[in-house]
Amino acid sequence: MSAGPMARTRFARREKSERPVVPGGFPLAGPRPAVDGGGAVPAHVALIMDGNGRWARARGLPPIAGHRAGAEAVRHSVTAAIEHGVQYLTLYAFSSENWRRPPREVGDLTSLLRFYLRHKLQELHEQGVRLRAIGELERFEPALREELERAEALTARNTRLTLTLALSYGGRAEIARAAMRLAELVRDGLLAPEQIDEERLAGQLSTDDIPDPDLVVRTSGECRLSNFLLWQSAYAELMFVDTLWPDFDAAAFGRVLADYARRERRFGGR
C-alpha cells in the first residue's frame, strides 16, 4: 500500500519543525517543548484505553457496542483534561497488533473513528482542541486518512489541548524507524555516528513536537504498556486502574490526577 496523503502530511510537519533541518528533510535534535509536568497537574497524560470488549461481553452485547461506549468515554476524558488544565492528551486508540483482530471488528473500529471525525470534530474544534495522529497511518484506507488530514488541518491553530490519537501505532516499530532515519543520515555523510544521542533519536520520533508523558494510565486492570510510547514513558508515572474503559468518566479522570498529585517525581535524584 502506498504511503498516501497522510504520510506526506507527517513528512511536511517535520519539515516545518523549529529544529534545524538537514538536506533530506530530517530535523536534527533541538530543544524539547518546555512544559512543567512536575506540579500538581500533569502536563501530558497518556491513556491506554482497555476493556471495551469485556464491557460489551458482560452485557451480552457485540464488540462494537463496547467501542461506541468507549468513544463516549473519550469525550468525557477530553472535557476533563481541559477542565483540569492538562495540556496534552494522548490516546492509544488502535495498536499495530490490533490488525490481528477479526476483520469485521477492525472494520467496525475504523468506521466508528471515521464517524466521530466527521460528526464530532466541530465539537473538539470549538473546545480549542488541536487533533493530531501518529502511527502507521498508511495502513488505513484513503477515506479515513482524508478525514484525519482534514481534522488536523481544521484544528492546527488550537492551543487549549493537544489531542494525539495513536493509530496503528507500535512503540518498538517507532524506535526502529527513528534509528533507520539516523542511519540514513550517517550513510549520506550528514551525521557522524558519535553525534547520535538521546535527543537526536527523540527528534526522529512521531512525538518530537510534544513533551514526553508525565502520567500513563491503563484501564481494565491489566498491568503492562503493550508497546505504547516505550521511549517516551521512561520517566512517566504509571497507573493501572481496574475500571473498564467505557466506565472511565470525568470522575475517574479526576481520581488519577489526584493520585498523581500525591506522587514525588525525582527523575533519578534525591
Enumerate domains of the chain plus CATH numbers: 41-171+212-261 (3.40.1180.10)
Binding site as annotated, residues: 50-55, 67, 95-97, 99, 101, 218, 224-226, 237
Beta strands in the chain (DSSP E): 21-22, 26-27, 44-48, 88-95, 129-134, 161-169, 215-218, 237-240
pLDDT in tens, 42-89: 999 999 999 999 999 999 999 999 999 999 999 999 999 999 999 999
- Out of 50, 108, 209, 212, the active site residue is 50
- Out of 98, 158, 227, 259, the active site residue is 98
> What is the 3-state secondary structure of 82-114?
HHHCCCEEEEEEEEHHHHHCCHHHHHHHHHHHH
Binding site as annotated, residues for substrate: 51-55, 67, 95-97, 99, 101, 218, 224-226
Rounded to two decimals, what is the model's pTM?
A: 0.84
**Over pLDDT 90: what percentage of the chain?**
72
- List the Cα angle 197/201/207 in 5-degree steps: 140
Cβ neighbour number for residue 216 with a 10 Å cutoff: 24
pLDDT in tens, 223-257: 999 999 999 999 999 999 999 999 999 999 999 99
Is 188 in the active site? no
Output the nine-digit C-alpha cell for 223. 498491568
Rounded CA-CA distance 214/86 in Å is 10
Is 158 in the active site? no
